[in-house]
Amino acid sequence: MLGGTGAFDLVAIGEAMAVMSPAPGVRLAEAGALTLGTAGAEANVARTVARLGARVAWVGALGSDPLGDRIVADLRASGVDVSYVVRDDSAPTGLYLKDTDHNRATSMYYYRRNSAASKMDAALLRGLPRRRVLHLTGVTAAISDAGLQLTRAALLGQHEGLVSFDVNHRPALWQGRDAAPVLAELANAADLVFVGLDEARSLWGTDTLESIRQLLPRPETVVVKDGEIGATAHLTGRGAQFEPAPPVDVLEPVGAGDAFAAGYLHALILGKPERERLRCGHAAAGRALVSTDDVGSDVVGGRA
């Protein structure tokens, strides 16, 4: 198993949002009712890893409002420790809406400007709990200058255990800023990096495993995901290992990348070999792909 005796197996720092969705196949403009849930890249990872049986804490900021109450309740119900969550009286909890057309294509509409999460900064790192794995993503770095300060401080500062970073490039969030060098800098400060092949191509112009690894030489492991094809882990000094993705009848792709990271991280925490980590990542992603819930709905028995 992964070394260390921290209080938590995994601590995830970042954004959580409320999400409202119509029934599958129903347009948002035509819906008579919406389902309320919890989303956000880091929160998705925290919930999934906790459901798989690990000791997990989520660190972030929410408004002192009913949506923040709902997110705290959802995280707690998934087994996530929420004692490090900051509640902000001066800013709301972020929200996004899903819109599914009749061809089952999903669009998202985000309402996070001036949210409590957008105001998070490096002060959030004070009193960070002990952990074996610290997980962050490029989303928090993109939502505000303060979020970038927080992410950079978490990755570049002194830390214990393994540091995991999912590039999670969201072009709309960068609003004309050049994300490429920033996300490369942040990824190179981590021990473990997750990035999609198509994501790396659009962000950095790197379209092979070798070119991605040349750009990111410092992490011990770089996991490159190639959609329905599979995923490859490139390990420093140990070459590359590829694991094909099992076929899945996709209902909705939202949250699958977060689920993959969560499945992989849970297997890593358990000390599983590299190929098994990739398999567990695919299994968790598969559960998300066949569900309209960002974290999937059938994680049982503490198994990935």
**CA–CA distance, 252 with 260 (Å, rounded to integer):** 14
Q: Which residues contact 233 (CB under 8 A, 6 or more apart)?
A: 221, 222, 223, 224, 240, 241, 274, 277, 278
**CA–CA distance, 84 with 102 (Å, rounded to integer):** 41
Query: Angle 274-289/256-269 helices, nearest 10 degrees?
Result: 150
pLDDT band at 297 (very low <50, low <70, confident <90, very high): low
* C-alpha 31 chain-centroid distance: 29
pLDDT band at 6 (very low <50, low <70, confident <90, very high): low
**CA–CA distance, 255 with 273 (Å, rounded to integer):** 25
Burial of 128 (0-12, 13-18, 19+ CB in 10 A): middle
Domain boundaries along the sequence of the chain: 8-289
- Backbone φ and ψ of 247, nearest 5°: -65, 140
Q: What is the mean pLDDT of the chain?
A: 89
Helix, strand, coil percent values for the chain (each to nearest 5): 35, 25, 40
The residue-averaged pLDDT of 44-55 equals 96
**CA count, 13 A, side-chain hemisphere, 289:** 17
For the domain spanning 8-289, the CATH number is 3.40.1190.20
258 is known as an active-site residue: yes
pLDDT at position 24: 78
Q: Which residues contact 247 (CB under 8 A, 6 or more apart)?
A: 228
User: Which residues in 8-19 are b (16+ Cβ under 10 Å) and which e?
Assistant: bbbbbbbbbbbb
Burial of 26 (0-12, 13-18, 19+ CB in 10 A): middle
In whole angstroms, how large is the CA radius of gyration of the chain?
Answer: 18
Yes or no: say if 8 and 129 are a contact pair by the CB < 8 Å rule. yes
pLDDT at position 285: 86
pLDDT at position 102: 62
**CA–CA distance, 65 with 235 (Å, rounded to integer):** 44
Exactly one of 258, 293, 294, 298 is catalytic; name it: 258
The DSSP output letter for 118 is: G
pLDDT at position 175: 84
Burial of 32 (0-12, 13-18, 19+ CB in 10 A): exposed
- Classified as helix, coil or strand, 298 is coil
At residue 51, does pLDDT exceed 80?
yes
Tell me: the pLDDT tens digits for 104-151?
677 889 999 999 999 999 999 998 999 999 999 999 999 999 999 999
